[in-house]
């Protein structure tokens, strides 16, 4: 979710920033699950992406959710750019992708109910105005020139900067979608262990959820093109972050890293001020060219943290960022996978035992291999399918140990949300493999078939 942060006075020391991150520490009883997912909207008659405004548009969907389902508007100037209700937000990604940023909830049962309610509401409005939504990791047919541009100042600045630092930044912004989960930590030591496991196992999530084998109307040679895109975006703010595995890593280490990531903007009085490539350290010292003499605040730092895009991201919680957007069933499987691993100590320890012997080169190689071959990837003697099977089993054990019942007590725990992943491990097939089989089989190369057969 990319909305401006708020709260906090001028920054007086780097230690204050570490304390800001540390303030996210919570007792286990207060740990929550926040699921986010993005999806592409399109006009049903033309199969083209939705413009911002018009009879069949992103704006029409937002207005429908506001008027028929009780969401409150979020404005940027004169533009409706999001919605909020009950701790959740609906927001717009750069190319009009619609994102649900869910409320922090206690169980996967609740977060899956939230996802299901949201998709029903979206479908209700979409059907009324003649549009559809589909969950994929990358837009399968649309070219960059066909993608609309949403009226958000943040995205205008980012678009202008992307070609300076990599070749695929605009592809990421306008033609990809993800599903992710945000999870809590109890202490600095707990954060460190979770960040290390999150980064090391992110390629497993990429493999299990691979769902972007097409671009520009044909196969692109990767099972997760979205993951390939992230490898050539901006090395200053992406990647597997080897320093997280260094002895002594903690909140201060993350602050040092974040302060060295070039800025995008400063948000003031409802507007985004261009600070592209400038230094947050200069901002803290009152030497930011964009705002000479002004001192950065904690809310500025919180905004800056949202412009850092590694495979796992630390804020006052941890974001798992390696999975493609996908079909309805997997929107619940992703938070279940990570919750099972992260929220039971025995599971977390087992996951760390699984990955602690890897070096940075192995972790990077797994990331590359996952994007290309998904569950068929292999790095040295590590077979991705075997690794995924072990990770899913660790997650299942963690969910069983959590023993959070659902359906009025009729379901004893959350482990059934992993069923889609068990199916993938058993068959070796991911959503991308299924799509490619259709493309090369009954679709006979007609990729337009993906819309009626895979939309929500």
pLDDT tens by residue, 89-126: 999 999 999 999 999 999 999 999 999 999 999 999 99
Contact 33, 339 (CB under 8 A): yes
Question: What confidence tens digit (pLDDT) does each residue in 411-428 have?
Answer: 999 999 999 999 999 999
Does some domain include residue 411? yes
- What is the pLDDT of the chain when averaged over all its residues? 97
Residue 30 lies in a domain: yes
Q: Is residue 6 part of a domain?
A: no
Q: Is 37 helix (H, G, I), strand (E, B) or coil?
A: strand
Question: Among 231, 193, 187, 227, which Cα is nearest to 207's?
Answer: 227
Q: Is 128 left (phi over 0), alpha (psi -120 to 50) or beta?
A: alpha
Nearest residue to 119 via CA among 108, 107, 127: 127
In this structure, is residue 130 part of a structural domain? yes
Is residue 9, in this structure, part of any structural domain at all?
A: no
Dump pLDDT digits (tens) for 334-363.
999 999 999 999 999 999 999 999 999 999
Query: 1: pLDDT confidence band, cut at 50, 70 and 90?
Result: very low
Owning domain of residue 296? 14-450
Point out which residues pair with 76 in neighbouring strands: 79
**Res 5: pLDDT:** 65
Q: CA torsion sign, 186 to 191 to 193 to 197?
A: positive
| Rounded Cα–Cα distance for residues 155 and 158 (Å) | 5
Provide the domain count of the chain: 1
- Span 28-87, pLDDT tens digits: 999 999 999 999 999 999 999 999 999 999 999 999 999 999 999 999 999 999 999 999
Supply the pLDDT for residue 3: 56
Q: How confident is the model at residue 6 (pLDDT cuts 50, 70, 90)?
A: low
Query: What are the phi and psi torsion angles at 261 (to 5°)?
Result: -80, 125
Residue 315 falls inside a structural domain:
yes
Domain CATH code at residue 28: 3.30.590.20
* pLDDT at residue number 227: 98
* Residue 142 pLDDT grade (very low, low, confident, very high; cuts 50, 70, 90): very high
pLDDT tens readout for residues 159-175: 999 999 999 999 999 99
Rounded (5°) CA angle 256-259-262: 140
pLDDT at 390: 98
What's residue 2's pLDDT?
54
Give domain status of residue 424, yes or no: yes
- Residue 156 inside a domain? The answer is yes
Does the pLDDT of residue 138 top 90, yes or no?
yes
């Amino acid at each position: 979710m990319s909305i401006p942060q708020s709260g906090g006075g001028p920054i007086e020391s780097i230690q204050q920033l570490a304390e800001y991150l540390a303030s996210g520490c919570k007792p286990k009883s207060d740990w929550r699950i926040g699921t986010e997912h993005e999806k592409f909207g399109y006009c049903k008659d033309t199969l083209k992406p939705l413009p911002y405004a018009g009879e069949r548009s992103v704006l029409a969907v937002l207005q429908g959710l506001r008027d028929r389902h009780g969401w409150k508007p979020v404005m940027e100037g004169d533009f409706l750019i999001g919605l909020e209700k009950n701790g959740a937000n609906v927001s717009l990604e750069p190319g009009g992708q619609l994102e649900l940023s869910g409320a922090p909830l206690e169980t996967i049962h609740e977060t899956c109910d939230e996802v299901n309610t949201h998709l029903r509401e979206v479908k209700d409005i979409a059907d009324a105005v003649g549009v559809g939504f589909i969950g994929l990791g990358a837009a399968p047919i649309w070219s960059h020139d066909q993608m609309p541009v949403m009226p958000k100042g943040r995205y205008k600045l980012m678009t202008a900067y992307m070609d300076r630092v990599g070749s695929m930044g605009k592809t990421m912004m306008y033609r990809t979608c993800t599903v992710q989960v945000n999870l809590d930590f109890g202490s600095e030591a707990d954060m460190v262990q979770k960040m290390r496991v999150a980064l090391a196992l992110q390629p497993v999530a990429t493999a299990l959820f691979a769902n972007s084998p097409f671009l520009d109307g044909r196969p692109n040679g990767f099972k997760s093109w979205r993951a390939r895109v992230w490898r050539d975006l901006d090395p200053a703010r992406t990647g597997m972050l080897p320093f997280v595995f260094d002895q002594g890593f903690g909140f201060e280490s993350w602050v040092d890293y974040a302060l060295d990531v070039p800025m995008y903007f400063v948000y003031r009085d409802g507007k985004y001020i261009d600070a592209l490539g400038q230094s947050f350290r200069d901002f803290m010292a009152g030497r930011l060219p964009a705002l000479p003499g002004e001192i950065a605040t904690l809310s500025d730092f919180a905004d800056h943290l949202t412009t850092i895009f590694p495979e796992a991201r630390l804020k006052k919680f941890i974001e798992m960022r390696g999975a493609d957007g996908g079909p309805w069933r997997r929107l619940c499987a992703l938070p279940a996978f990570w919750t099972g691993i992260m929220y039971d100590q025995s599971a977390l320890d087992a996951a760390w035992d699984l990955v602690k012997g890897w070096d940075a080169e192995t972790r990077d190689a797994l990331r590359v291999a996952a994007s290309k071959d998904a569950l068929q990837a292999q790095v040295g003697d590590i077979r991705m399918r075997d690794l995924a099977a072990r990770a899913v089993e660790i997650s299942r054990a963690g969910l069983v140990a959590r023993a959070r019942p659902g359906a009025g007590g009729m379901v004893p725990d959350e482990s059934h949300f992993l069923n889609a992943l068990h199916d993938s491990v058993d068959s070796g097939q991911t959503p991308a493999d299924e799509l490619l089989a259709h493309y090369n089989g009954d679709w006979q190369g007609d990729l337009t078939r993906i819309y009626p057969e895979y939309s929500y």
